[in-house]
Structure 1
Amino acid sequence: MERNDRGVANFLKAEASSPSRVVSVDDMSAARLPPLTQSESPRRAAGMNASLDVLNEQMLTLVEVVSAQEKDIKALKMRCQQLEERDQAVMVAFTTFFHVLAAGRVAKLEDIAAILHNIIKVAQREAYRQESIRFLEALASMLREQSGSGTTEAPMHDGPRPESKD
Structure 2
Amino acid sequence: MADLGCGPGRVAGFLAGIGADVRGIDLSPRMIEVARRDHPGIAFEVASMAALPFRDGELAGALAWYSIIHVPQELQDGVFAEFARVLRPQGLLLLAFQVSDSGDEDVVHLRHAYGHEIDLRTRRQSPARMKRRLAEAGFALIAELVRAPIAPEKSRQGFLLAQRMADSGSEIAAAS
For Structure 1 versus Structure 2, the TM-score category normalised by the shorter chain is under 0.3
- Say which structure is richer in helix: 1
Question: Over alpha carbons, which structure has the higher Rg?
Answer: 1
TM-score of the superposed pair, with normalisation by structure 1: 0.21
TM-score of the superposed pair, with normalisation by structure 2: 0.20
